[in-house]
Structure 1
Amino acid sequence: MDAATATATSASALRTAHERFLTSLGTPEGVRRLVADSWQRCAAGGVQPDGGRLPPLRGTAEQLAAYRRTHPLVAVLPLFRELLGAGAADDGHVFAVGDTDGTLLWVEGDTAAVERAERMHFAEGAVWSEAQAGTNAPGLALELGRPVQIVAGEHYSAAAHGWSCAAAPIRDPGTGRVLGVVDLSGGGTIAAPPALAAVRGAALAAEAELARKLTASAVLLDPGGRVVRTQDASRPGRDGAVHLMALGRDSALLECDGRVHRLSPRHSEIVVALALEGRGVAGDRLAVDLSERELSPSTLRAELTRLRTVLGPALLGSRPYALLSPVRTDFADVTSLLAEGRVSEALAGYPGPLLPRSDAPVVVEQRRALEQQLRGAVLGSGDARLLRRWVDAAWGADDAPAWQALARALPAGSPQRAAVAARARALDTESTLLPRLPQVRRHAALLQRSGS
C-alpha cells in the first residue's frame, strides 16, 4: 500500500488502527509497512502518542540564527524558495528545511498555515526527528534515507493528524552523507504523488547546485553536516588543512588538496600516530608507538619514505616526523562531540572502531579510550534510541550492560522490553561461563583474528 492508497483509507480507519495499536502494542494492522515499523520504534522509544508532549525547541533564536548561517543548506535556500516556496504559499501549505537531526532550520509558506503549524511546534528550531516527534515525513525520510509521504492519521502523534507531509533527504554530492531534509506539509493534497515528486525534485536540484559549487570550492563538513572549512579550489591546499578518516576501516582515507588518498594499513597507523602527536615525534618514539616488537630504524625510514611519496614532502616532515598541516580527524570529531554532550551526533559519526585490526600500541590505546568514552555516554544517557543503535551495531551486540540499560529505558508496557531483558540475561549467563573481554574490544579482536 502506497501513500495514494493510504489517502483513500478513511480517517476513521486510520484512527481505529492507531487506537488499536496503542491499546494492544502488537503488530500494527491496516497501515503501510513503513508506518507500522515507525509506530513500533516510536512506542519502544517512549514517544507520546496523544500530542501532549510537543517536539522540543533547540536553543535560542540567536543560537539558531548562528547555526543556520554556517549550515551547508543555506547555500541552496534560495533554490528551495523558488521551487517550493511560491507554490506552498499559494496552496495554503508550508515548506521546511531541516538538518540531519531533524531540527527545522527554515519553515515558510502560507501565513495562516505557518501559524497553525507553530501551534504543534512545527516551527524553526523545533526537532522533528522520529525519536522526538513520532512518525512524520521529515523524521522518517532521515531515518530511512529516502523520500516518504505520511498521511494524516499515519502520524504517531495525534497533534499532527490534521496534516499530511512529503519529504526527501538531501545528500552532500561529494561524500554521499545526508545533509538534511526538505519537506512540504499541509492538507490532503500533500498526500498526492505530485507533492512527493516536488520534494524529490527539489532535493535533486539542491544536490546538483551543491555539486556545481564544489567545482569552485572544496567544502569539508563535520559529522553533524556543518561547514568547518571552505577552500578555494583555484588555489589547492592554500589553507593546508587535511582530513583523516580512520574509524571503522583498516585503510584510512586522507583528504588533502582536493584529493583522497587510501592508505595502506601500516601507513594508516603512521598517519594516525602523527595526528595524535600533533607537534611531531622522534623516530625511536614513533617506532614504540607502532609496534610492541622492536622496529628497526631502517624499516621505519623505508615506510616513511614510501608514505612521503604518497603524500608529498609538503605534508610529511622529518626530524621530527610530523604532519606539516592542520589535521582534522573523524575520531577527534567524535571526542569533541562527546565533550559537548552531543551523544547522538557522536554515535552517528562513529562507523566503527579506530583501525579495528591494528595492534599498534598507540592505535590500540586511542581505540580503547574512544570506545570507553562513547559507550559510557550511551549507557549513561538512558536514551532507548541510542541504546538500541548501540546494541544493533556489531561492537555492541554482545554488550550485556547495554542490553540491561535498554531494558530499563523501554516503557513498562513495551512489547520489546521482555525480549530485550531476556537477551540481557542470556548474555549475563554466558559471561559467567566464558572469560569476558569488554564487548567493544572483543569485536576488534574478532576482526583481527578474521584478518590473520
Structure 2
Amino acid sequence: MPLDGAPPRRDAGPAQVSGSDPAGRARASADVYDSAVGGGPVRSAPRTVVSESWRRSLAAHVDPERPSPPLVYPPDQLRASGAAHPLHDLLPLLRATLASIAADAMHLMRVTDAEGHVLWREGASALLTEADRVGLSPGTCWSEDAIGTSAMGTALATDAPVQIHSADHLVRTDHSWTCVAAPVHDPDTGAILGAIDISGPLHAVHPPLLQLVSATAQLAESQLRVRLAIADERLRTRNMPHLTSLGGAPGALVTSTGRVLAAQPAGWWPDRVDLREAVDRVVQVHGCDMLVEPLAEGCLLRARGPVHRAPAPRPATALFLRCMTEDTPSVVVGGRAVPLCLRPAEMLTVLALHPAGLSAERLAHLVYGDDGNPTTVRGEVRRLRRLLEDGLLATRPYRLTATVGSDFGAVRAALAAGRLRTALASCAGPLLPRSESPEVRELRDELGAALRRAVLEDGDTALLCDFAAHPLGRTDLEVHDRLVELLPPRDPRLGPLTARRSRLQAD
C-alpha cells in the first residue's frame, strides 16, 4: 500500500515485471512511485515486495534523491576481501553461466557478499561508464539500508530471488535500470553468503532473467555442497584416529562450525554443537561437559574427566499432525497445539511421510512440484523451525527428529487393519483440502478413495450412514443412492438422506 497509509484504488498490476513493453512498465512504475514516495495522488500501490522494501529503506533514512551508494572497499581492500570470500572459487562457474550472457544482452553481472558489498562485476563494456555513474561498480554497498530498494539489497533482505524494475528502485537515479538477483546460501550453516545480480538498461529487460539467475544461484549452492562433502570426508578420514583413541568414551569429530561428522555413542549426539558457547574450551552436550580440542581441521570433543558409562539418549519429543480436517490444521508438540498455515502443514506432512529425510531439491519438488526450488524450501524451513521446539527439524537431509504421529497415518494404519470405523473416526475431513502439493494431493486421493471403497464394499449400513454424514462422503451421490436403496421405508434416516440426494442430483 502507499507509504502514507492511504488505501489504493486498485492493485498495482503494472508494477509487476512482465509483458513485452519495458517503456510502458517504466511509466506505470513511475506513476506508482510518484503516488507512494513523491506525495502524488494515490492511484495504485506497488508490489508488496517493493512497498515493504521502501518502508525498510525509508526507516533506515535512505534519501530517494541520493545520487549513488557508498564506496566501502577501495581497490586494494576489495581484492583481499574478494579472494577470501567463499564465492571466489565459483567465479569461473558464474562467468561461464552468466557473464557471457550478460555481455551479449547488454547487461552486467555482479556478485555481492552477505552485507551487499559488490565484490565482482563483469559484462558489457559499453555499459561500464553508465554503470559507474550510478555506482554499479565493485566496492560499493547495495544493501537496503545503504541505497534503498534494489534487486541485490532486497534479495538479501528477503532471502528470496527478486526483480526490481525502473521506479521500483527507491533512489531516483536508478530508475533507468532494471535488475534481478538471487541469494546464495552456505550449505554448512544455511546463512546467506551473498547475492548474484544481473543489471541492465530498461530496454534490455528480459523476464526469463529471474529464472536464469535463480537457477545459477542454485547451481552455485550445489557446487558448494559438493565441496563441503569433499572437505567433510577429508576431515573424517584424517582425524578418525583421534576419535577411535577414546575407546568407548563419548566423543565426536566436529567441523569448525560445530557440525558433528562422526560420533560415539551412536544416536546420542545432536547434528550440531554450538562451539560459540564454549567456556574455557568446554561445551555442554545434553548436560555433559565436553572438552574442545582443536585439530588441524575441525575439533575433537571428548568427555571431561573419566566416564564409566555412556549417557543415555534423550527421548524423542513426540509430534502429532492434524491435517485431515476442513478447519485449520495443527501440530501438537510438547502437549501444545500449534495452528498451521497451509505451507508449513504441507512441509510437515511431506517430512512425516519421509522419515529418513529429503534433500532440499527433493523436498521442493514434493511440496511445490516442478516450480519448486531449494531456496524457497530453506526459507520455509527457517519459518517452520520457529514454530517447533529446538532440534526437532534437522537438515542435510531435512527430516523430523521426533517421533511423529498423524491423523493421516492413523487412517492409513486403520485401513490396512480393516478397522473402518477407526479409520473414519481418525479424520475430520480430507487431507489439507486446499493443498496443490503433488505429494499431498496423491495421499489425499489415495486415502479418500481407499476409505470410500472399503465402506461401500463392507455392507454395514450404519457405517455407510456415518460416511454419508462425514465431509469425505457428504457430496458423494453414489453413497446416497446406495443408502436410499438399503434403508427401509420407515427408517428415520431416510428422509434427510433423500433430501440431500436430491440436492446432489440438482447440482
TM-score, normalised to structure 1, is 0.52
Aligned partners of 1:188, 1:87: CA distance in 2, in Å? 17
Distance in 1 (CA, whole Å) between partners of 2:42 and 2:57 is 13
Matches within 5 A, 1:215-226: 215-218=229-232
1:349-428 residue pairs with structure 2 within 5 A? none
* Aligned partner letter, 2:64: P
Bigger CA radius of gyration: 2
The alpha carbon displacement at 1:169 in A equals: 0.8
Distance 2:181 2:35 in 1: 27
Q: Give, as a single letter, the amino acid of the residue that structure 2 aligns with 1:179.
A: L
Matching of residue 11 in structure 1 with residue 31 in structure 2: no
Aligned counterpart, 1:32: 47
The residue that corresponds to 1:173 in the other structure is 187
Whether 1:55 aligns to 2:41 is: no
User: 8 Å contact 1:3–1:191 — kept in the other structure?
Assistant: no
Q: Any idea what SS the aligned residue of 1:204 has?
A: helix
Structure-1 separation of matches of 2:49 and 2:167:
14
- Give the alignment partner of residue 65 of structure 1, picking from 79, 104, 116: 79
Q: Which moved more, 1:8-17 or 1:141-150?
A: 8-17
Is the 1:163–1:186 Cα contact (8 Å) retained in structure 2? yes
Aligned to 2:449: none
Q: 2:238 aligns with which of 235, 238, 244?
A: 235
| Pair 1:96-2:99 in alignment | no
Determine whether 1:316 maps to 2:302.
yes
Aligned to 2:246: none
How many Å apart are 1:176 and its aligned residue? Answer: 2.3
Within-5 A mapping of 1:319-330? none
Query: What TM-score comes out, normalization by structure 2 length?
Result: 0.47
Q: Does 1:20 align with 2:24?
A: no
Aligned: 1:106 with 2:109: no
- Is residue 198 of structure 1 aligned with residue 202 of structure 2? no
SS in 2 for 1:105: strand
**Which residue type is aligned with residue 279 of structure 2?**
L
Letter in 2 for 1:196: L
Overall identity of the aligned pairs, in %? 30
CA separation of 1:233 and 1:210: change in aligned 2, threshold 3 A:
farther
CA contact (8 A) 1:218 1:258 kept: no
The verdict on how the C-alpha distance between 1:237 and 1:180 changes in structure 2, with shifts beyond 3 A counting, is farther
Corresponding position of 1:154: 168
Query: 2: distance between equivalents of 1:193 and 1:183?
Result: 14
- Report what 1:276 is aligned to: 279
Aligned mates of 1:77, 1:122 — CA distance in 2? 18
Q: 1:122 aligns with which of 136, 142, 148?
A: 136
What is the correspondence of 1:328-343 to structure 2 with a 5 Å cutoff?
none
CA distance in 2, matches of 1:58, 1:37: 26
Quick one: structure 1 residues 244 and 68, their matched pair in 2 at CA, closer, same or farther if it must change by over 3 Å? Answer: closer
The structure with the largest helix share of the pair is 1
The CA deviation at 1:317 is 5.3
CA RMSD of aligned residues (A): 4.0
User: Alpha carbons of 1:236 and 1:59: their partners in 2 closer, same or farther (altered >3 Å)?
Assistant: same
SS at match of 1:4: coil
Question: CA distance change for structure 1 residues 235 and 162 in 2, over 3 Å: closer, same or farther?
Answer: same
Q: What's 1:46 paired with?
A: 61
- Indicate the SS of the match to 1:277: coil
1:255 is the counterpart of 2:259? yes
Amino acid of the residue matched to residue 176 of structure 1?
Answer: G
Deviation at residue 11 of structure 1 after TM alignment? 3.0
Paired positions, count: 275
Partner SS for 1:142: helix
Unaligned runs of 5+ in 2: 1-12, 243-251, 292-298, 308-385, 387-507
Given that 1:218 and 1:233 are in contact with CA atoms closer than 8 Å, whether structure 2 keeps it comes out as yes
Deviations 1:169-228 (A, max 9, x none): 111223322111101000236543211111011111111111111121149xxxxxxxxx
Between the aligned partners of 1:109 and 1:48, the Cα distance in structure 2 is 29
After superposition, the Cα gap between the structure-2 partners of 1:4 and 1:303, relative to the gap in structure 1 and judged at 3 Å, is closer
Q: Per-residue deviation at 1:12? A: 3.2
Distance in 2 of aligned mates of 1:74 and 1:190 = 28
Residues 265-309 of structure 1: CA distance to partner in whole angstroms, max 9, x if unpaired? xx989x887x2123x7xxxxx9xxx9xxxxxxxxxxx9649x69x
Provide closer, same or farther for how the CA distance between residues 272 and 131 of structure 1 changes in structure 2, counting only shifts above 3 A. Answer: closer
Structure 2 counterpart of 1:13, one-letter code: A
| 1:375-433 residue CA offsets vs partner (Å, 9 max, x unmatched) | xxxxxxxxxxxxxxxxxx9xxxxxxxxxxxxxxxxxxxxxxxxxxxxxxxxxxxxxxxx
Instruction: Give secondary structure in 1 for the equivalent of 2:195.
Output: strand
The separation in 2 between residues aligned to 1:119 and 1:109, in whole angstroms, is 16
Local SS of the residue matching 2:96: helix
SS in 2 for 1:51: coil
Q: What's the offset of the Cα at 1:234?
A: 3.8
Moved more, 147-156 or 170-179: 170-179
SS in 2 for 1:47: coil
- Structure 1: which 5+ runs fail to align? 220-230, 246-253, 281-285, 291-301, 322-392, 394-452
Cα offsets for 1:297-354 (capped at 9, x unmatched): xxxxx9649x69xxxx963254699xxxxxxxxxxxxxxxxxxxxxxxxxxxxxxxxx
Write the letter of the residue equivalent to 2:99: G
> Which of 121, 139, 150 is the matching residue for 2:153?
139
Cα distance in structure 1, aligned partners of 2:151 and 2:276: 40
Question: 1: CA distance between counterparts of 2:231 and 2:124?
Answer: 35
Q: Which residue type is aligned with residue 47 of structure 2? A: R
Displacement of 1:263 in angstroms is: 5.9
